[in-house]
Amino acid sequence: MALFRIADESLPAISGASVTLRVPQSGDYTEWAALREISRAFLVPWEPVWPADDLTRGAFRRRLRRYVEDLRADLAYSFLIFRNSDGVMVGGVTLANIRRGVAQAGSVGYWVGAPFARQGYMTAAMRALIPFCFGTLRLHRLEAACIPTNAASIALLEKTGFQREGYARSYLCINGKWQDHLLYARLKDDPD
């Protein structure tokens, strides 16, 4: 049994300055699929290859089942990001690869829809997620990795208190090829 586990998928929403993060629900499918589709060209360079059926309702249902299983097992927490002013979905963020015991760590991944890029929504989402990770989940360390040419991601991580710790060769298979990544981390006691 995992330490500090949240009991079920009824995880409360996390409110931030201009966004709210909440667990994806089946009713989110249409908005999620539309945002991902119009953002495909924008996202493809930074993500794993999309399965052929990625934007189908069936694939979304499978995704939701995996999210619930991961949440129940304290392995990952996935959220969609909604703009507070009108409730529009702007992206998503996931805390994954949670390690308990002596590590108390997890890895952050994120995406923002093309129409909402560089408007501060992901910064607001990260600033809302960080206290949840360190407070509610009682983690000690958050990690993130980004492709060295992704200037927006580098700026996001550094703006939200992550520090560069290293360089990993052929770290993740992104857009169909193994790519080097910059490694970042933020510790619970790091200053804001």
This prediction's pTM = 0.93
Spell out the SS3 assignment of 44-101.
Answer: HHHCCCCCCCCCCHHHHHHHHHHHHHHHHCCCCEEEEEEECCCCCEEEEEEEEEEECC
Total tally of structural domains belonging to the chain: 1
Q: For residue 50, give its domain range.
A: 14-139
In a domain, 152, yes or no: no
- pLDDT tens for the chain, 192 residues: list them: 333 334 345 688 999 999 999 999 999 999 999 999 999 999 999 999 999 999 999 999 999 999 999 999 999 999 999 999 999 999 999 999 999 999 999 999 999 999 999 999 999 999 999 999 999 999 999 999 999 999 999 999 999 999 999 999 999 999 999 999 999 999 999 987
In this structure, what CATH number is given to the domain that contains residue 73? 3.40.630.30
Q: What Rg, from alpha-carbon coordinates, does the chain have? A: 16
